[in-house]
A = this chain, B = another copy of it.
Amino acid sequence: MNKKEIKVQDIKAFLGEDLIGVFGDDTNVFVDNVADVEHVNETTLDWINPRRLNQQEIAENSPARVLLVTSKVSYSEAMEKLGKVLLVVKNPRLKLAKIIAEFFVEKPKALIHPSAIVDENAEIDPSVAIGAGCVIGKVKIGKGTVINPNVVLYDDVTIGNNCLIQAGTVIGTDGLGCSREADGTLVKFPHLGGVVIGNNVEIGANCQIAKGVLSDTLIDDGCKINGLCFIAHNCHLEKNVWITGDTMLCGSIHVKPNTTIYSNVIIREQSTIGERVTIGMGSVVTKNVPDGETWVGVPARKLEKQ
C-alpha cells in the first residue's frame, strides 16, 4: 500500500448524505493508511465494529485520530482533548470499504497490454484494461472493465461495464454434455451459445465459465464469484448472486437475485435456487431451494431457524 495523505474533508465530501454526524475539528486532519487492529496508528482511518458490546471503550482506546463509528459512540471529553474526529455513519465497515476503494486502491490504467492477443473483431471500449498474456476472442467488453493477466475469453462472450476478471480465468469454453452410443463411445453435444455477463460483476482466478448449448449462459449485474468456480452451460445467475469460491454450478441452473452460495458447493443441473437463499459451504444441492431459505449438508436440507 502506497501511503498518501487523504484529507478528512475529502472523505466527508465523498460520504455525502451517508454522513450522519461529525465530531471534532477536522481542519488540516488527514489519514494515510488503513490497518488491522494490531497495526492501527495515529494516522490510520480506524472503524468501530457495531457488533461489539463495548464500542465506546474500543473507540476511546484506539490510537487513531479519525474513526468511523455508529451513533452508539459518543464524543467524550477525553476524545476532545486528544483532538479526535468521529465520522458517524450507519454501517462503518461498508463505508470503510467504499473509502478504501475510492482513496487507497490504485485504478488500473486503460490499456491493452502489448503481449495480449486480441481478435481483430473484438469490440472493446477504450476505457478497458486488459492484462499481459490474455487471449481475447470475438467478444464485447464495456466501459471500465478490468481483465487481469492470462485470462482467456473465447468467442461470443459479452462483458458489461466496470467488471473485474481475475487472472487465469477462462470464459466461454464448450460445455461437455455427452450422449453415449451403444458401444460406450461418448458423443459431445456441440455448444453454439455464448456467455453474457452484466455490469459490476467480479470473477475470481482460475474459474471456468462455459457457454450455453444453443442459447447463452447469463451472469447478471452485480454478481461476485470468487476463484476456482465452474459455472456450466446455460446457467442463469440473476443480479447480486455471491459465490465465495471453489463451487460448481452444473448446467442450466437458475439462481435468483441476492442469493449467497458459500464455498465448495455442488448444485445439480436444472435446479432453481430462489431469492435471498443461503447455501452452506460444502453442500451438495440436489433439489430446488425456495426463496429465503438456508440449506446445508450432503444432501442439502433446509436449516430450520433455532
Contacts and interface: CB of A to CB of B under 8 A. Distances in A.
A209 to B, nearest CB: 9
A246 B268 contact: no
A224 to B, nearest CB: 5
A148 interface: yes
Contacts of A98: 187
Contacts of A148: 152, 154, 173
Given A135-B149, A150-B133, A246 B230 contact: yes
Interface string A240-251: 101011101010
Nearest to A155: B106
A93 B105 CA distance: 50
Contacts of A36: 213-215
Given A36-B214, A189-B97, A91 B179 contact: yes
Interface of A: prevailing SS: loop
A276 B175 CA distance: 22
Contacts of A226: 175-176, 230, 232
Nearest to A227: B208
A132 interface: yes
Contacts of A276: 184
Interface string A170-193: 100111101111001111111010
Taken together, the copies of this chain in the complex come to 3
Interface stretch (A52-60, A69-77, A257-265, A287-295): A257-265
B1 A192 contact: yes
A265 to B, nearest CB: 8
Contact of A192 (B104, B240, B244): B104
A23 B8 CA distance: 79
Contact of A228 (B39, B174, B208): B208
Interface stretch (A24-32, A79-87, A199-207): A199-207
Contacts of A113: 117
Contacts of A13: none
A97 B191 CA distance: 9
A244 B250 CA distance: 9
A26 B96 CA distance: 68
A303 interface: no
A49 to B, nearest CB: 12
A210 interface: yes
Contacts of A100: 189-190, 192
Interface string A103-124: 0110000000101010000000
B206 A208 contact: yes
Top 5 closest A-B pairs, CB basis? Answer: A282-B284, A184-B258, A208-B227, A135-B149, A264-B266
17 contacts: A94-B179, A97-B189, A98-B187, A101-B188, A113-B117, A131-B135, A133-B133, A135-B150, A154-B167, A176-B224, A184-B276, A228-B228, A244-B250, A245-B248, A250-B263, A266-B281, A297-B298
